Structure 1
Amino acid sequence: MAPLFGLNGYVALLLLLLPSLNLVSGGKLLVVPMDGSHWLSMKPVLMQLYQNGHEVVVVAPEVNVHVKRSEDVFAVKTYPVSFTQEQLDENIRAFGREIFEDLPFLNMFFRRIERLKNTSALFYSSCEELLYNQELMSYLRQNDFDALFTDPFWPCGQIVAEYLGTPSVLFLKELPCSLDSKAAQCPKPPSYVPKGFTGYSDHMTFAQRVKNMLFHLSESFLCNLVYSPYGTLASEFLQRDMTVVELLSNGALWLMKEDFLITYPKPLMPNVIHIGGINCAWKNPLSQLFSLNLVSGGRLLVIPMDGSHWLSMKPVLMQLYQNGHEIVVVAPEVNLHIKPSDDYFSLKTYPVPFTQEEMDDNMQDFANEAFEDLPFLVMVSRMRMRMKNTADLFYSSCRHLLYNQELMSNLRQNNFDALLTDPVWPCGQIVSEYLGMPSVFFLLKIPCGYDTDATQCPNPPSYVPRSFTRYSDHMTFAQRVKNMLFHFLEYFFCSLFYFPYESLASEFLQRDMTLVKLLSSGSIWLVREDFVFTYPKPLMPNMIHIGGINCAWKKPLIQEFEAIVNNSGEHGIVVFSLGSMVSEIPMKKAMEIAEGLGTIPQTVLWRYTGEVPPNLANNTKLVKWLPQNDLLAHPKARAFITHAGSHGIYEGICNAVPMVLMPLFGDQMDNAKRIESRGAGVTLNIIEMTAKDISDALKAVIYDKKYKENIQRLSELHLDRPIHPLDLAVHWVEFVMKHKGAAHLRPAAHDLNWIQYHSLDVIAFLLAVVLLALFISFKTCLFCCRKCFGKNGRVSKKSKSKSH
């Protein structure tokens, strides 16, 4: 896979993800590099940073291999060390000579250990002399650097970062003994991720997996020789207990010189960024990146999920159309938002056995139940029935699509390059399997963890809260217990919606098919999330985050709304929308809301089509439709009242507008919790809230500066990226269209069963070997004891009788 950004893009990534680095006037970057080829890989980044106007200061020992003062793009600060250039050069030459020596294994092993100890001693000595060089450390502290750039292969740079209180960016290929994955808390299953120096691929035999597990268990002991002294040194210098893993875990970003074209796919953490090929010069400047089309004139089939899912997908289709691709959308004749009025795609519809009125009533009933105060069991029963009715509609729609022979024949003849679908409704992927074409998934999430199961993505319940729990990623013990129970129970709850699709897929494709197996064939997962909003968790290589994709489409306000906003005066406006599903509210609740809105001086634009509350205040304007994102982008926007749908949440973040959240159902409760936990909004219970609650919440987010400051910080983090989510989504759709998939990003975990994935067979085998060894040892000892002491310890009957 070619680099997506080029060197400029990776430098931008380095800069933009460090909020403390001043991008406007030129920041100050401290560099504590690893010598040798590590330094040569790092130099292009430093040169680009220098060209971007930043001051770069490199700290290195006077005795080194490649870090020389001759460089004119950065300042080099050196410090004396206790070894000479000749000693360093001889040590490196000795390493080279030993490679070509034909020695017995044990001789070679001990020679390598001795050489490793000598080299480690040189680097450790250099680190100690850097840390205790008072003049140099005083200079570094006084210079107030914005960030520290270092290769953690030599952990000394991270000790300096801790001492100076400076955020660090770690630049590396990998660390021995999986120190990188341990420090980043990145899962690294030994069942399909080969350990260093094994020479294995990601498809291992049972014997290889056993050996890989043994390497996994023993590697930390082997690394004590090199890295444990740095833990002691860090503890002594920083005057607090510190292990190397704890030290490295404080790195802000991990820039890994890897690419899944040559390394095997494995889990990643959000702050682990792959930059393999960084030394390959990019031939086009970054400013031209977004105009490059990977494939021109392609044909894309789209089978969308209706509702807000479709509204989120539309910007991608519009951009693909502008890039010259033919877009064909398949949808049922009866739907909510997918209409033939749009001219950037052709729409093919198919008949379904339900009417528009039935669908609209079902959606409205969903919304109405959110305002009913019912006993818990009654609410659960009603919700289950409503879910079943909705599921039946979607299942019926899918069945009528698959068995529409004329339409399916037409799709097969059209020879599309790829299929874009939302896997929340799995019908699109069944069509993809039937037509034999690669698919791109466009989604927020799939209930019950089907997305993580299908991608083989680790999803630890210890810190990844399950849907509908409303927990954060910092849970108490009781919350973790409940989260684990949700983890076990969620699959049973999902049977209502998803299990029928397994039977349908098996029947239609004429082979056994589970939902996880069906979805695991997706080439790329475009996930509408951003870790500014969602909690950090592991990702797989084919999972691309595009949260905020809808924020690109900002237009000037039409005259009607421009006039309202301008007339709001210094107080500004409040934007109020409970989403496309809520067209009316029970009158009692509508009057409470109207009363609360009337207590603030701001002009309120309320998207509402129900009966007008009789107590509606003069400051509140009811509209059937409003340009939500455009209004939030206006400088006079003071607050945003939202149902906490992901679409609106990201628009609020993009435009830095603090929120009052009134979640209704589904994942909206979890969304509201995330915003509230970040101090960017206030959550109200839609059933229990009073007019005073609404008034107090609005006054809090408008007049308490902390809410505006917190949402502003989230907005800056969200917008600081080298490529916009929309461009990223379009890139990956075109990538799949051109390359007919993304097989190089598919992890070998898909080829393992549950027992193999968790290495239970390997653990059982090793345990059996240990128990057998203990049993044999015990029996051997027992046999020896009997041989040695048996005759002396026993007195025969004959001897006894003689003594009497």
Structure 2
Amino acid sequence: MDLILISSIILTLTLPVHCGKILVFPHEGSHWVNMNVLIQELHSRGHQVTVIRALDSWYISETSPHYVSMTVPFSLGGDDEFYSSFISRQLQIKRERQSAWTRFRLDMDLKDRFSEMHRKICEMVIYIIESDPALLERIKRADFDLMLTDPANGGGVVLARYLNLPLVFNVRWTVHGEAHFAIAPSPLSYVPFPLSQLTDDMTFLQRTYNVLFYTLRMFLYRRIVGPHYAALCDRYFGPDLDYFELFQAADIWLMRVDFVFEFPRPTMPNVVYIGGFQCKPAKALPVDLEEFVQSSGEHGVIIMSLGTLVAQLPRDIADEIAAAFAQLPQKVIWRYTGERPSTLGNNTLLVNWLPQNDLLGHAKTKVFVSHGGTNGIFEAIYHGVPLVGLPLVFDQDDNISKMRHKGVAKAVDIATIDRGIFKDALEEVINEPSYRTNMQKLSVLHRDTPLNPLDSALFWMEFVMKHRGAAHLRTDSYKMPWYSYYCVDVVVFLVLIVSFVVFIVFKVIGCLCCWLCAKRKRAKQD
């Protein structure tokens, strides 16, 4: 038995282990939270992960037990102060019902900020390639098997092409908006463009709005990012390559959505759906938090968090929210770092941080008050907890709109909120059984998959490393000009052929008629 045990250990240690080297070019903010989940899982499977980060990165730590960082001595100038300020200004505009021109100027400020962000990312790529030979040589000598990136910025996409690495996306958004519109057929007749707050069942006027909204958004996206990435691609790959083709040529798109959240739509073979991959069974709460939750008795608890960018609110709004909570029999756990509201009740616990997934998975949690970020929404779906939405910016209105359409959420306009409106919304979601029933149905559907979303993501990354890409799953349709893609040239050709045939037929008939008329005239003359 000892010999068998020793032999087994030796065989285990000597068998080849296929671990890959993965280069990660992440995106800042909440996007990093998703990427870090994948990185930790890759590390747990023995893969070597290297993360490229800027010198002034505000989310991505330079040291980690799960990855090695390559810090580029380049400042992106990015921090959360701008976005917090932007949210505050947008909230102020809504509350004071300021002019459309003021709101437009704020949107233009955001557009300029995004343009500046992409410009600096391009400069960072240039710095890596041209200004830091030691760093570039270090990257090349590492002999990476894969580039994993978030295409919300294009730095990793361009660098992957330059290094000739297979490319995998951790994606919901690209530099041109929602990712499906970059890779999959997206008929605007029943595929609502994100941010439009439309469903897949549109009237004629809604379809018209969808087309116009799509056209305007795509125009703005290209104006914001196009000049920067076009110049970068021209610099390294020549003028004949459209920068967005680099995005469309990615091997695998790990799409952070699920069709319990999205409306049905066409997709592609290299799109892998991993929505909710960060969700997991709830763990035990800290002792003090568990005691607070248990003290709620039969009434249960309400969880409130407005995401990573919003830890505090204007004083009067916070007071109205706190006053509504104080009138409820439930206990409340509220992630809030602002000044303590004057109307805060004894049933409400303010915390700087909360274990959101574990609280949502607790049996006593009745409702989740959320800003509408996809991470929180998927955790709520996973644990079957209905929502009260307080959307603020970006895609949050659209996300809550989807959940409201599915009968699992109630939306409240935070700009016009008062204690009565908020209390009524909470009581409706808590006391009307359909909200929880519908959410639990979504939870069952979301969980009922042959493979866990995180395992699916890991499988396809390892697949790409093993086979050095996944070209057999990728279409080259993106290389076709639009008139060929939509067969406009074929339609024009067939119309011309039919027109020519009709013309010849009418010409022949005309000639026959002329000949018969001439023959009759001659017959009469004779």
Matches of 2:122 and 2:82, distance apart in 1: 18
How far did residue 733 of structure 1 move? 0.7
Amino acid at match of 1:486: F
Q: State the shift of 1:794 in Å.
A: 6.0
Out of 363, 376, 384, which is 2:83 matched to? 363
Q: Which residue of structure 2 aligns with residue 710 of structure 1?
A: 438
Q: What letter corresponds to residue 109 of structure 2 in structure 1?
A: M
Structure-2 residue corresponding to 1:584: 312
Aligned partner letter, 2:463? F
Match of residue 412, structure 2, among 684, 689, 693: 684
Show the counterpart of 1:264: none
Q: Name the amino acid aligned to 2:38.
A: V
Q: 1:483 aligns with which of 210, 213, 229?
A: 210
Distance 2:52 2:238 in 1: 23
Query: Equivalent residue for 1:350?
Result: 72
**Counterpart residue number, 2:28:** 306
Q: Deviations over 1:111-146 (max 9, x none)?
A: xxxxxxxxxxxxxxxxxxxxxxxxxxxxxxxxxxxx
CA contact (8 A) 2:281 2:361 kept: no
SS in 2 for 1:463: coil
Matches within 5 A, 1:727-738: 727-738=455-466
Matched AA of 1:378 = T
How far off is 1:788 after superposition?
2.9
Q: Distance in 1 between matches of 2:409 and 2:445?
A: 17
Structure 1 distance, partners of 2:16, 2:309, is 38
Secondary structure in structure 1 of the residue aligned to 2:169: strand
Q: In structure 1, what residue type is equivalent to 2:69?
A: L
- The separation in 1 between residues aligned to 2:177 and 2:349, in whole angstroms, is 41
Q: CA deviation at 1:376?
A: 2.4
Mapped pair 1:498 → 2:218:
no
1:239-289, CA deviations, whole angstroms, 9 ceiling, x for partnerless residues? xxxxxxxxxxxxxxxxxxxxxxxxxxxxxxxxxxxxxxxxxxxxxxxxxxx
Please point out which of 630, 639, 647 is paired with 2:358: 630
Greater Cα shift, 384-393 or 342-351: 384-393
Shift of 1:674: 0.5
Alignment of 1:202-217 (within 5 A): none
1:316 to 35, 38, 63: 38
C-alpha deviation, 1:510, in angstroms = 4.1
Mapping for residues 656-695 of structure 1, pairs under 5 Å: 656-695=384-423
Two-structure CA RMSD over aligned residues (Å): 2.1
User: Match of 2:369?
Assistant: 641
Q: In structure 1, what residue type is equivalent to 2:212?
A: L
Structure 1: runs of 5 or more not aligned: 1-292
1:6-31 per-residue CA deviation (whole Å, 9 max, x = no partner) reads: xxxxxxxxxxxxxxxxxxxxxxxxxx
Aligned amino acid, residue 475 of structure 1? M
Q: How big is each residue's C-alpha offset from its partner over 1:83-107, in whole Å with a ceiling of 9 and x where there is no partner? A: xxxxxxxxxxxxxxxxxxxxxxxxx
Q: For residues 554 and 306 of structure 1, do their structure 2 counterparts lie closer, same or farther at Cα, with a shift above 3 Å needed?
A: farther
Equivalent runs, 1:383-532 vs 2, <5 Å: 383-404=107-128, 405=132, 406-446=134-174, 448=176, 451-452=179-180, 454-455=182-183, 457-499=184-226, 500-532=228-260
Q: Provide the C-alpha distance between the structure 2 equivalents of 1:553 and 1:352, rounded to a whole number of angstroms.
A: 40
1:739 and 2:467 are equivalent in the alignment:
yes
Is 1:755 equivalent to 2:450 in the alignment?
no
Q: Shift of the alpha carbon at 1:583?
A: 2.1
TM-score norm. by structure 1 comes to 0.60
Q: 1:609-645 CA distances to partner (integer Å, 9 max, x unpaired)? A: 1111111111111111101011000101110000000
Q: Is the 8 A contact 1:333 1:350 kept in 2?
A: yes
- In 2, distance between residues paired with 1:726 and 1:425? 23
Distance 1:496 1:756 in 2: 25
Correspondences of 1:12-51 after superposition (within 5 Å):
none
Residues 639, 659 of structure 1: 8 Å contact kept: yes
CA distance in 1, matches of 2:343, 2:178: 47
| Displacement of 1:398 | 3.7
**Do 1:528 and 1:548's aligned partners in 2 also have CA atoms closer than 8 Å?**
yes
Displacement of 1:447 in angstroms is 6.2
Could you tell which deviates more after superposition, 761-770 or 533-542?
761-770
Aligned counterpart, 1:382:
106
**How big is the shift at 1:448?**
4.5
Distance 1:426 1:448 in 2: 10
Alignment of structure 1 residues 22-421 onto 2, 5 Å: 296-353=18-75, 359-372=79-92, 373=94, 374-404=98-128, 405=132, 406-421=134-149
The alpha carbon displacement at 1:506 in A equals 2.1
Q: Residue 445 of structure 1: CA displacement?
A: 2.8
**Displacement after TM superposition at 1:386 (Å):** 2.7
C-alpha distance in 2, partners of 1:725/1:297?
21
User: Matches of 2:352 and 2:137 in 1, distance apart?
Assistant: 41
One-letter identity of the residue aligned with 1:403: Y
Q: Is the 8 A contact 2:307 2:373 kept in 1?
A: yes
Change beyond 3 A, Cα 1:773–1:512? closer
Compared CA separation, residues 632 and 341, structure 1 to 2 (3 A): farther
Do the aligned residues in 2 keep the contact of 1:548 with 1:654 (CA within 8 Å)? yes
Contact 2:151–2:175 at 8 Å: present in 1 too? no
Give the distance between the partners of 2:38 and 2:511, measured in 1 at CA. Answer: 76
Is the Cα contact below 8 Å between 1:528 and 1:545 reproduced in 2? yes
CA shift digits 1:425-465 (9 cap, x unpaired): 1111011011000110111133645734542x211111111
Q: Tell me, which stretches of 5 or more residues in structure 2 are unaligned?
A: 1-14
Q: Secondary structure at the match of 1:371?
A: helix
Contact 2:63–2:69 (CA under 8 A) maintained in structure 1: no
Structure 1 counterpart of 2:82, one-letter code: N
Match of 2:285, SS?
coil
2: distance between equivalents of 1:782 and 1:451? Answer: 56
- 1:224 corresponds in structure 2 to none
Amino acid at match of 2:268: M
**Alignment of 1:535 onto 2:263:** yes
Corresponding residue SS for 2:60: coil
* Matches of 2:176 and 2:117, distance apart in 1: 20
- Alignment partner, residue 599 of structure 1: 327
Give, in whole Å, the separation in 2 of the partners of 1:751 and 1:394. Answer: 24
Deviation at 1:342, TM superposition (A): 2.6
State the one-letter code of the partner of 1:523: D
Distance in 1 (CA, whole Å) between partners of 2:508 and 2:202 is 51
Q: Distance in 1 between matches of 2:434 and 2:509?
A: 72
Residue 761 (structure 1) shift: 1.8
Which structure has the larger Rg over C-alpha atoms?
1
Distance 2:399 2:325 in 1: 23
Q: Distance in 1 between matches of 2:483 and 2:215?
A: 18
Aligned partner of 1:188 in structure 2 is none
Q: Which residue of 454, 465, 474 maps to 1:726?
A: 454
Give the direction of change, closer, same or farther, for the CA distance of 1:537–1:441 in structure 2 (3 Å limit): same
- Given the superposition, is the C-alpha separation of residues 536 and 354 from structure 1 closer, same or farther in structure 2, using an over 3 Å criterion? closer
Q: Whole-Å Cα distance in 2 between the matches of residues 508 and 568 of structure 1? A: 62
Q: CA deviation at 1:387?
A: 3.2
Cα distance in 2, alignment partners of residues 463 and 577 from structure 1? 33
Tell me, in whole angstroms, the C-alpha distance in 2 between the residues paired with 1:453 and 1:620: 43
